Amino acid sequence: MAIVFKKTSVLTDTIMHYCPGCGHGIVHRLVAEALEELNLQDKAVGVAPVGCAVFAYRYFNVDMQEAAHGRAPAVATGIKRVLGPESCVFTYQGDGDLASIGAAEIVHAAHRGEKITVIFINNAIYGMTGGQMAPTTLVGQRTTTSPYGRDMEHCGSPIRMSEMLATIDGSAFIERVALNSTANIQRAKKAIRKAFETQMAGKGFSMVEVLSTCPTNWGKSAVESMDWLESSMIPYYPLGVKKEV
């Protein structure tokens, strides 16, 4: 019998713990497929974050390290400096992890032109801890720590990490993608491949920001979540390549 579809070998068979309708599972598969297609499984070392993806080390079928909250880019730096240009080192981080507590680490990894790839999941909320406000939470968005909606006067406006990191010389490839349609998911995969290729070519820091869903903490169904991502997140976080050298 002809095999028409096969799960990538870069994902383990472990059942994922993500909620129904969550974007994390989709992105895991895209990252794993990209690594397989580029023949990078045996060169890859991944760094899992603190956040809903904390168990990423159970799912990616590559050597993995689990980092402290926000420190994944520093951990990845240590790994890459030891293993050298042949290796493919990536971090997988949420928006609380990357844009809040780990803001210094991500900025300086980009600033050094660290040859690592960052997969940045922006779901506009802290998923794991129960839906608190993230730096990426939209103005007016209700979360468990912005129960009246995010007030710009009080706590600023959502941070656009891709645009910010694109201003840094060390960044070689930065693109923002979204999971709201099949076409966009295909684009996301292409961007992830491109990011890994950028790293392997030794060009510098690469990051793909993925606009993703958190139905559980958004208080929406899976379908409503996709709609909200499209109608509310994409207008504020424009998709596309922000930096390419």
Contact positions with ligand SF4 (CB under 6 A) in 44-73? 52
Tokens describing residue 160: 């656009």
Site for ligand SF4 contains 216 (CB under 6 A): yes
Q: Which is nearer to other proteins, 9 or 181 (CB)?
A: 9
**Residues with Cβ < 8 Å from 107, sequence gap 6 or more?**
164, 165, 168
Q: What does the alpha-carbon distance between residue 179 and residue 160 come to, in Å, rounded to a whole number?
A: 18
- Scanning 75-83, 92-100, 120-128, 170-178 for contacts with other proteins by CB under 8 A, the matching segment is 75-83
The interface partner of residue 139, options being ligand TPP, other proteins, ligand SF4, none and the CB cut-off 5 to 8 Å by kind, is none
Distance of alpha carbon 195 from alpha carbon 208, whole angstroms: 7
Does 176 help bind ligand SF4 (rule: CB under 6 A)?
no
Site string for other proteins, 101-120 (x = CB under 8 A): ---xx-xx--xx--------
Q: Does 52 bind other proteins (CB under 8 A)?
A: no
User: What is the residue whose two structure tokens read 């909250």?
Assistant: 69
- Which stretches of the chain bind ligand TPP, using CB under 6 A? 50-53, 69, 94-97, 121, 123, 125-129, 134
